[in-house]
Each structure stands twice: as C-alpha cells, then as structure tokens.
Amino acid sequence: MTTLRTLSVPVVLMLLMGITEASSQKLSPDEREILWHQDQRSLADSVLYRYLKHKDSKIRARTLLTFASIQDTASIPAIVPLLSDRFSDVRAAAAFALGQIGSPSTENDLAERLRQETQGKVILRLLESLGKSGSVKTYDDVIAFGLPKKLSGLRADQCMSLARYAIRNIKSERGVWFCFDALEETDPQIRWTALFALWRIAPRGAIDVEVSNREAKLAALASDRSADVRMHFATLLGKLRSPEAMELLKAIQKNDARKGRGNWRVQVNIVRALAGHAGRDESAIDGLLELLDVANNHVKMAVLTSVAGLSRETVRKYAGGEKLRKKLQQLAAPSKRTSEPVRGEALVTLAKHYPADFTYANLLADLKASNLLRSKAIEAVCQIPSTANLLMVLDRLEDDSTRVAMAAWDFIRQLLAPRSLRVFRKDTVTSSLGTTLFRKAKVSLLREDIAITNLVANALGDSSIYSLLREDNVHERALEELMLAYGKLFSPNDVEAMQAVLQTLGKIGDERTLPLLEQAVLDPDRTVGLAAATAFEKITGTDVSHQVVPATRPLYTDYDWKTLGAIPLNLKAEIKTTRGSLVVRFHKEGAPFTVLSFYKLIRKKFFDGLTFHRVVPNFVVQGGDPRGDGWGGPNYALRSEFPLLNYGRGQVGVASAGKDTEGCQFFITHSPQPHLDGRYTHFASVESGLDIVDLIQPGDVILSIRIKR
C-alpha cells in the first residue's frame, strides 16, 4: 500500500487561517523527537529512556505519556523510579503509564507509592492504575487507603478503582461494604461512582443482602438530585434479584416521571433495568410500556430493543399483551410522527413477538423505502422462519444497496439457525441451499467491499451455514473463495475484514489455510497478526504469537511539525448538524497527531455532509464515516494516543478496530463511560451544545465542521 504523505502548510496559508505566532505552541526538538518515537512505536534505542532523565520535568512527563501509548512491558523498569520523582506531574504520568501497560508486576510499587503519596492528582492516577493492573493482593490496599479530609473527594476514585478491578473480575465483600458506605457521602460524584462499582461487582449475594438491610436509606437515592446517581442506581437494581430491588426501581421510575424531573438518560437506564426483571415480574413489562409513551426517541428506542430482547415465552404470557401489540403496530406503521429509527426498531419487535401482525415484508422490494427501513425489514423477517422469508432474504444478499446486502448477510444466520432449519426442512427447500449460499457468497466477495467481506466471512464461520455447505460439497470451494478474498485485503483500511476472515479460518480448521495464516501472523498491523496467531493455534495447537509485531508498524505518518506547532492549544471547532450546533475543544497536548489529522480533515471539509450513523442511547453518538455505515475511513490509520483524561459526559474519542487503527470516525459520550478510559484516543471535549448531542438520532447530518476563530 502506498504511504500517504502530507506536505507542510506554507506560512502564508497559516496566516490566512488565522493561526498566529501568539496563539501557537512551537515544538522543541526534544518534543519532536519524543513524539516521533511515540508515533513510530519505537523502543529500539535508548532515546526515550534518556528523556526520562531529562532535567525538564515537562519533558519527563511527556515521555511517560509516550510509554503509556506504546504500552511495552520492557519499559517498566525505567518507569517505576519516576513514581518517586520530586514533581507531582511526573509521578502522576508514571502511575498512568504503568496502568496503561497493565502488568501485575508493578502492583507492589504502585501500592507502596499510594501509601506515601500526598498529592491528590497523583493519588487519583495510582488508584486508577491499581484498578487496571492490580491483583487480589492489592485490592484491600485500595479499600484501606485513608484519605486526609482535604482530599475526601478522592473517595470517588477509590470506588472507581474497585470498579476497574471488578471489570477484570476481581471482587470481594469488602469492596461491596466500602461502596455501600460511600453512598452516604454528600458528594454526588462519590455516590454515583460507588453505584457504578456496585453494578460492576453485581450479581453478588452480599449486594442483595445490603439492599435488604439498607432499603429505607437507599430509598432516598430513588429521588436523588443527581441524574448520574439515579441512572447508576437503576442499573444496579436491574442486576439484582431481590423483591426490594424491583420496588426501588419502581420508585425511581415514579420519581423520574414527576413533572419537570424526567431525565431521558435516567429513563434509558430504567428501561434496561426493567428488562432484567421482566422474565420474573410482569409489572416490569408494565413499566416498559409506560416508558414507551415518553416523547424522547432515545427512550423509545431503548424500550423497543429491550422488548425485542425478551423471550417469546415471556411476552406470550404477559397479561397486557394486547396493549403491547397495539402499541407496536402503531409505531411500525408509516407516520410522520414516528422517526425512521423508531419505526425500524418497532418493525423488528413486532415481527419477533407478533409475527401474524407483521405485514411489512414488501418493504424489501420497495425501492422508494429508505435503505435504513429496508435493512430493518430484513432484520424483522429474519425473526419469522418461513420459506417465503428465506427466499426474500436470499434474494437481498446481492442487493444493489451495500447497506441492504450487509443486513441480509448479517441476519440470515438467524433464519438458518438449527431451530429455524427444522421448519424449512419440512418444506423441503434446503436440498440445494448450501450451493445457493456458496454462489451468493462468491458473488458478494467479488464486490470487494470490506463490510460485506466481513459479514460473508462471519456467515461462513457459522456452524449451521458451514454444515449446509458441507452437505452440498461446496465447503472447500467456499474456503478457496474466502482465501482469495483475503488476498485482496490490506491493512490499515481493511483490518476489520481481515480479522473476520482470519477468525473464520480458525473456526473452519482446515490445514490448507496454514500458509496464509503464517504470512498473516507477520502483518504490519498487530491486530491482524494476533488474529492470525489465534487461528493458527486453533488449528495446530502451536503458539506463534511471539512472531507478531510488538506494535502496529505505521504505514502512514504525517510529521508536519510546522502545522502541528501552529495549532493553538485551545483550538475549537463548531459542528453544525441538522439538530443544531455544538462546539468542541481539542486536547492537542494529549493527542497531538490525532488533533493534527482532524484539523487537516476539517480544513478539507471532509466531514461536511456525513452522518451520525450510530447512536446508542445513553452511551455515544458516532459519526464521521465517509461510507455512512461504520466501515469507512480516511484511507490511513493513526496510532492510539492516551492522554491523562477520562471519559465523562460530552467527551470526544476516536472509534477503532483495535489499538493503533484509528481513523476519522469520532464519538461523543452521552454520560460518563469509565470503561473507555485509556482504551480509545480521547482528543476533544464538548464545550457547548450538549443539549444538541442529546438530540442526535441515527441518520442526522453533519452539515459542516469549521475551526472556530
């Protein structure tokens, strides 16, 4: 693949852009060298290690952030001494870097420093790093750590540390008791982080016991003034099984429904929590129906997807089934009052639970219908196993619309699951189904579309579909086509499709794929190499992961130091959307190459007219994809950059297919998402317009993004 190069911007052009000497930040030769090694993922010489001993504390701290992005265990011995550096910024960066590397070998050093540290910003990073890398041995050190009164707010970080342990499945009753005690703190951040930790620890018997013992005190949380507290309390209650949990959940819903108090983010979490109880308590479905009447589309979408996820038996037994059926019929019908995304989810939910009332299969052939609705119609008919539906979906595997063809390949696996196949066999339509699927797969792979290649690979890796290929004796030919398709894929643009093909080859387990896998292990993209090594080990039992490159080799670099140095530290951009405008502020110091890339794309008007293709209620909105379906990029990949920032509400990150595969797709968080910290490049924050972010729905357009003067 040809390496893309970007020329430095002439000084005269920079002046036209309004970037002046006064607002810029020139990079010193040392900073340039550090950033170059970070981007190259280079620890091959001692340059970075020498910078850890630099007389300037800012240089030492910057170098430590480089190690946090590279994440090589070989750097640990050089980093540990800086936990005792005389400057707190350096100590904080050292702790952060060790947490990013994530080796349990550093937990004693981190715990020892925690016992000695007095600076809040360092304690915060030590707690974070122990949560990311510590074992059971240091779990109690986090709980036992005594905070001086002036740093009492850091109790939230203790709770978050326990949550990070829990994400790695390290939990204990002591952690449960600590978090329940923290719920009595006056600081709402401490309360919501304690609840976040508790639902990460759940399910656990000690939590149910504490809920029963403290029910009266916990009732106050149902009407807590903080939306984040009510939100995480609802999530916790959805993971419990006690009757008290359901009563408290109803109390949150009741309080949140009061005039002027409703918060859509809380309601979304209530929806998901109620769905967790619906199989045991019919009143939970009553609560879902009530929330389906809320005007907010995020809440409607959450209800519809939650109801679609309920078992058919649960809905069949529901006494209010007729009311639910009529509501789904209303939302599935064409209406100017119902948004397309909501209608699409209603179609799927109606088809699953009330198939006799689903009359929208004609959408598949209606070229006037949007591709979004046609795709949802495919997902819907795949809920109803029948010969007619199977034939319709088979026909759409080669649809002219890439999005529709993607949906057909994605959801046909539901129609061909063993339970559905038994229905078809009664109709004797599967006598040549394997051959039909092979032909469709061959034609689809010839489209050389990365998304369709990915989905075809996933389908061929499905045991039911592969058995159909075997029955018609076309499985070897299908394998050959898959390997031919892989030969046309290249990193960095095609890494997700490459990973999918390699995973399928591992599932199939045919030794004829070994030469391809051996070559793929050496791919310059580490995520591809690891996928190939995993597949190779499945087939041979031999671990070849040591042959995988230690870091993704950069195929694209842009060391335009002049432009990077000229970008102001407080650079802002205005994003105009069909819902309104918002302003984001970039974090150049923490993610310099990412900011440089987005800055140049903005100057080229790259984002103008693109859409927000993905919206997950109370999680993120995601846009910036030139394809509009989540599979596009700028034709190059950036290396991950991890600054000393956390994903709170309104934070902007870069989507990726694994470390060092970032491109142009960005997401904005609806609410705090601690599990994203240190895993996705965090390069900007929403400064104004969060209310606009809350309004964004799938398909909304980015009218323009412009640098704000």
* pLDDT tens string 430-466: 678 999 999 999 999 999 999 999 999 999 999 999 9
- The domain boundary residue, chosen from 201, 216, 240: 201
In a domain, 538, yes or no: yes
pLDDT at residue 6 is higher than 80: no
- Neighbouring C-beta atoms of residue 355, cutoff 10 Å: 16
If asked whether residues 531 and 601 sit together in one domain, one would say no
Q: What angle do CA 391, 394, 398 make, to 5 degrees?
A: 140
Per-residue confidence band for 709, with pLDDT thresholds at 50, 70 and 90: confident
Domain closes at, from 526, 551, 576: 551
Residue in the structure block whose two tokens are 């070849």: 544
Residue 256 lies in a domain: no
Kindly tell me if the per-residue pLDDT of 351 is higher than 90.
yes
Residue 416 belongs to some domain of the structure:
no
- CATH classification of the domain holding 134: 1.25.10.10
574 and 439 inside one domain: no
Assess whether 90 and 193 both reside in one domain. yes
Domain assignment of residue 347, yes or no: no
Classify residue 145 by its DSSP letter.
P
CATH of the domain at 693: 2.40.100.10
**pLDDT higher at 135 or 45:** 135
pLDDT-based confidence at 260, cuts 50/70/90?
A: low
Q: In 3D, which of 209, 207, 211, 189 has the Cα closest to residue 198?
A: 207
Which pLDDT value is given to residue 262? 81
- Contact 95/129 with Cβ under 8 angstroms? yes
Residues 503 and 582 in one domain: no
Number of domain units in the chain:
3
CA distance 622 to 630: 9
**Mean pLDDT on 256-274:** 88
Q: Quote the pTM value.
A: 0.93
Structural domain harbouring 540: 432-551
N-term to C-term CA, the chain: 37
Q: What's the confidence (pLDDT) of residue 1?
A: 32
Per the prediction, the chain carries an average pLDDT of 93
Which pLDDT value is given to residue 349?
98
User: Same structural domain for residues 589 and 686?
Assistant: yes
Q: Are residues 484 and 531 in the same domain?
A: yes
Same domain, 501 and 546: yes
Look at 177-181, 489-493, 631-635 and tell me which has the smallest mean pLDDT.
489-493
| Residue 305 belongs to some domain of the structure | no
Percent of the chain whose pLDDT exceeds 70: 95
Instruction: Give alpha helix (H) positions in 134-172.
Output: 136-144, 155-167
- Could you say which of 174, 201, 228 is where a domain stops? 201
Residues 516 and 615 in one domain: no
Predicted confidence band at 12 (pLDDT cuts at 50, 70, 90)? very low
Greater pLDDT, 232 or 16: 232
Q: How many CB atoms lie within 10 A of CB 657?
A: 22
Whether residue 186 sits in one domain with residue 60: yes
231 inside domain: no
In a domain, 107, yes or no: yes
Amino acid (1-letter code) at residue 289: L
Q: Same domain for 617 and 526?
A: no
574 and 650 co-located in one domain: yes
Give a yes or no: residue 453 inside a domain.
Answer: yes
Beta bridge partners of 585: 572, 685
Q: Are residues 583 and 469 in the same domain?
A: no
